[in-house]
Amino acid sequence: MEEISFAPDSATYSTIIDSLCKDKHVTEALKLFSEMRGKGIPPDVVTYNSLIHAMCNSCQWKEVTRLLNEMMANNCKPNVITYNIVVDALCKEGRDLEAQNIFERMIQQGVEPNIVTYSSLLDGYCLQGEMDAARKLFNSITNKGCVPDVFTYNIIINGYCKAKRIDEAMELFHEMTRNGLIPNVVTYNTLIGGMSQVGRLAVAQELFKEMSARGLVPNVITYCTLLDGLCKRGHIHEALGLFHVMQNSGTNVNARSSCFIIILSFPGGVSLEREALESFLL
């Protein structure tokens, strides 16, 4: 850059560092970061966020801590994006206590958490099966000036379904619609999976019909989830009927292959092999 009389500034370095981090060339990004500082160009919050994100993705937690401390020492205050990156990464790794510490540090520094922050913490509790703590946090969100969105609802609904607390999941599903939020395919897939898991197939099938009535297009996860539930409970003919519906929906061949295998993998499926195969080849 300098050979053609172009002096890179902070924005230039930040852009290249961010690109290197996204491509997982972290060593090169750190070298450029060192070069940047060596030339007296102060890194800004965008630069640090890129590096912190890369370190979180590679679980280099000591480096994350070092960069956070370095930011403060250099009067570069972490923003809500900085903290959200770290909180989300820690929660996904099951390091809830450390995530909570970062969250508290965030508040102490006067940085206001947003719905992304709370959704990450919520996801952390759900991943650990701590549904009572998740619900307590969820209930407190609105009191803190944040409004749960569909993504937030999907997180806790999924947590309840995995914990087989299906009635509570449905309670939240009805709450979100009362609050004017429109469930998406992920919402329905989660509930269909939860209902299928506990053998409430009639409800699962009603949810399938409801999502179609709302104009949502079932995807391969929708079909495979419901097919799996039907087959596990021995409802092979209903499963085959659903497979026909999928056939007519124009679902791609690879998706159809996955669902076809599900039908044949359960007791009773082999007896319908000819019919299923004929349907598959249509």
Q: Are 170 and 192 in contact (CB under 8 A)?
A: no
Helix axes 80-92, 96-108, angle to 10 degrees: 170
Q: Are 137 and 118 in contact (CB under 8 A)?
A: yes
pLDDT digit string (tens) for 197-255? 999 999 999 999 999 999 999 998 999 899 889 888 888 788 888 888 887 776 664 55
Predicted confidence (pLDDT) at residue 7 exceeds the cutoff of 80: no
Q: Are 220 and 259 in contact (CB under 8 A)?
A: yes
199: in domain:
no
Spatial CA neighbour of 69 closest among 82, 54, 84: 82
Q: Which two tokens stand for residue 55?
A: 């370190």
**What are residue 268's phi and psi, to 5 degrees?**
95, -20
Q: For position 170, what pLDDT does the model report?
A: 98
13: in domain:
yes
Q: For position 244, what pLDDT does the model report?
A: 80
Across the chain, what does the average pLDDT equal?
88
55: in domain:
yes
DSSP states of 132-145 = HHHHHHHHHHGGGT
Q: Are 165 and 193 in contact (CB under 8 A)?
A: no
Q: Are 255 and 222 in contact (CB under 8 A)?
A: no
Q: For position 158, what pLDDT does the model report?
A: 98
Number of separate domains in the chain? 1
219: in domain:
no
Instruction: Please tell me the distance from the alpha carbon of residue 131 to that of residue 15, in angstroms, as a whole number.
Output: 40
pTM of the model: 0.84
Instruction: Please tell me the distance from the alpha carbon of residue 113 to that of residue 125, in angstroms, as a whole number.
Output: 17
List the CATH number of the domain containing 33: 1.25.40.10
The distance of Cα 100 from the centroid of its chain, to the nearest Å, equals 19
Please give the DSSP secondary-structure letter assigned to residue 265: T
116: in domain:
no
pLDDT band for position 10 (50/70/90)? confident
43: in domain:
yes
Instruction: Read off the amino acid at residue 249.
Output: S
Residue 6: which domain range? 1-78
